[in-house]
Amino acid sequence: MKILIVGGVAGGATAATRLRRLSEENQIIIFERSGYVSFANCGLPYHIGGTISQRDKLLLQTPQSLKSRYNLDARVRSEVVSIDRVNKSIEVKNLETGAHYTETYDKLLLSPGADPIRPAFPGVQHPKILSLRNIEDMDRIIESTKQENDFVVVGGGFIGLEVAENLIEKGKNVTLVELSPQVMAPVDIEFASFLHEKARGKGLKILLQTGVERFNATGEGLEVTLSNAQTLQAGAVILAIGVRPENTLAKAAGLAVGVTGGIEVNRYLQTSDPDIYAVGDAIEVKQLVSEQPVLIPLAWPANRQGRLVADNLLYGNTHEYQGTLGSSILKFFELSVAATGLNEKMLKKLHIPYQSIIITKGHHAGYYPGAKDMVLKVLFDPKGAILGAQAVGEEGVDKRIDIIATAMHAGLKVQDLQEIEITYAPPFNSAKDLINIAGYAAE
Ligand code: FAD
């Protein structure tokens, strides 16, 4: 069988290596538009700041290593420009030479990811307005940090906050502009307010409920005009106001696209064409609590789907993708903030009845030095079904949210959290953990 894969990073590379592990028989070709395959997108902000000092550490595989280890044909700087579903072929543009060629397939997998949104603000084409998606983008941002001192980051989501933090770590003067009343949409405002306060303490200026109106080129850089008529001077701007699923190829091929703009797939990750599957940021998924169609552009779903789809491509539709909870976490200077499931804003919007518990407690026994306060919120319905949770603190935030995500996956009720037997010794925990207390409080 000949399997073609569009996109060679999280979903695409995972599927390709799994396909090869399952069988040595098939011809597998990966097409990647950028100059790199299987790179660590999630690590990009940390090379900008210098925490990940070696650029090479971000390159998990190369076309050469994919060939020698997995016998995969990975073609970088190769953009798939169209799909001919009748003849089961794709048209590829070699971005080095400009030449076009076709390649036929038995099965096609789309993992083209999501593109940073660039609204049509006047002046947005300025070369110093950058965004961060791939290695090339990261190199451009690093180059700008060598020349510029004043940065404006537009957007207070994961990428905007991570880039802002890393620019501050590099000693830059950074202003972050966010249209909504809070940064970090996956958590409710009382959790985001910890981030607002931390930013102030670190000299990162955050302007909330403020939009960008336009950009003007100045002699040395840019002037950013905001919705409140204020202007900011910047050497460079990082646009991080979210991403949009890369659906152009799928749409042009007549594949069904869902209400969110994501490529529509069934539970086997098969598109409306039975020979074409799709995974990752580009697809619409079912949110596991609300059962609504959503876009959740995160690495775990892309990897999980990549592995699962390989089995379905080879053996027919044997593995179902259940849906996505949307578990996420952000490091912001010394703080961690994490969430899973739905938050209160979403529950209100969806008119889902809920109750909430908020607990503040040290992440380990208070009498052992170094205990850091953590705030945990658990949301549940009148019957006890857990709808979501959020936590903020300096230590142990990931552990608590991961336990709750596991409990949600297993269908445990909020009261069942009392029964979870945690590991305990004073440097790690309390004999009665925040998770257990949430269960007691909900009784
Ligand atoms: P991608 O990994 O983006 O791969 C898609 C690839 O397809 C792209 O490289 C693109 O060039 C290529 N492509 C698109 N169209 C074509 C075409 N027509 N022809 C050829 N190639 C094409 N997620 C987390 O869960 N945690 C994090 O901490 C986190 N941090 C992140 C930090 C940054 C800076 C970024 C950008 C993302 C981060 N993510 C994080 C998100 C995570 O990286 C994505 O969810 C994941 O990579 C999606 O996988 P994918 O395969 O769908 O798309």
pLDDT digits (tens, 9 = 90+) for 329-365: 999 999 999 999 999 999 999 999 999 999 999 999 9
Task: Answer for the pair 397, 336: CB distance below 8 angstroms, yes or no.
Answer: yes
Eight-class DSSP state of 113: -
Task: Answer for the pair 113, 301: CB distance below 8 angstroms, yes or no.
Answer: no
Amino acid in the structure at residue 21: R
Residues in the chain: 443
In angstroms, the CA 414 to CA 407 distance is 9
pLDDT exceeds 90 at position 220: no
Average pLDDT over residues 150-154: 98
Q: Please name the residue ranges forming H helices in 51-117.
A: 63-70
What's the pLDDT tens digit per position in 87-139? 999 999 999 999 999 999 999 999 999 999 999 999 999 999 999 999 999 99
| Nearest 10 degrees: Cα torsion 357, 358, 359, 363 | 110
pLDDT exceeds 90 at position 383: yes
The answer to which of 71-80, 214-223, 349-358 has the lowest mean pLDDT is: 214-223
Task: Identify whether 42 is a catalytic site residue.
Answer: yes
In the chain, the percentage of residues whose pLDDT exceeds 70 is: 100
Beta strands in 111-191 (DSSP E): 114-116, 129-130, 150-154, 173-177
Distances (CA, A) of 266 to 56, 313, 368: 37, 13, 51
The complex's ipTM works out to: 0.99
Compute, in angstroms, the gap from residue 409 CA to the centroid of ligand 1: 25
Mutate to test the pocket of ligand 1, among 38, 163, 298, 328 (most ligand atoms within 8 A of CB): 298
pLDDT exceeds 90 at position 68: yes
pLDDT exceeds 90 at position 20: yes
Atom 47 (ligand 1): residue with closest C-alpha? 10
β pairing state of 293-294 and 328-332:
unpaired
State the pLDDT confidence band at 219, using cuts at 50, 70 and 90: confident
pLDDT exceeds 90 at position 64: yes
What is residue 34's predicted lDDT score, i.e. its pLDDT? 97
Distances (CA, A) of 346 to 292, 336, 349, 420: 11, 21, 5, 27
β pairing state of 173-177 and 150-154:
parallel
State the pLDDT confidence band at 29, using cuts at 50, 70 and 90: very high
Q: What does 233-258 look like in DSSP terms, one character per residue? A: EESEEEE-S-EEE--HHHHHTT--B-
What is residue 75's predicted lDDT score, i.e. its pLDDT? 98
Task: Answer for the pair 142, 46: CB distance below 8 angstroms, yes or no.
Answer: no
In the chain, the percentage of residues whose pLDDT exceeds 90 is: 99
| Tokens 């699923």, located at residue | 245
| Nearest 10 degrees: Cα torsion 159, 62, 306, 104 | 120
Residues with CB under 6 Å of ligand 1 are: 6-7, 9-12, 31-34, 41-42, 44-45, 79-80, 111-113, 132-134, 158-159, 246, 249, 280-282, 297-300, 302
What is residue 368's predicted lDDT score, i.e. its pLDDT? 95
| Tokens 């400009």, located at residue | 98
Structure tokens at 318: 């044997």
C-alpha torsion sign, points 316, 319, 324, 327: negative
State the pLDDT confidence band at 419, using cuts at 50, 70 and 90: very high
In angstroms, the CA 379 to CA 325 distance is 14
pLDDT exceeds 90 at position 5: yes
In angstroms, the CA 305 to CA 12 distance is 10
Compute, in angstroms, the gap from residue 30 CA to the centroid of ligand 1: 15
Residue 282: left if φ>0, alpha if ψ -120 to 50, beta else—which one?
A: alpha
Compute, in angstroms, the gap from residue 31 CA to the centroid of ligand 1: 14
Eight-class DSSP state of 131: -
Compute, in angstroms, the gap from residue 216 CA to the centroid of ligand 1: 30
Atom 53 (ligand 1): residue with closest C-alpha? 113
What is residue 248's predicted lDDT score, i.e. its pLDDT? 98
Strand partners, 14: none
Atom 46 (ligand 1): residue with closest C-alpha? 299
Task: Answer for the pair 150, 178: CB distance below 8 angstroms, yes or no.
Answer: no
pLDDT exceeds 90 at position 391: yes
Residues 6+ apart with CB under 8 A from 302: 10, 11, 14, 111, 113, 279, 280, 281
| Identified catalytic residue from 40, 42, 52, 350 | 42
Compute, in angstroms, the gap from residue 281 CA to the centroid of ligand 1: 7
Mutate to test the pocket of ligand 1, among 78, 109, 142, 158 (most ligand atoms within 8 A of CB): 158
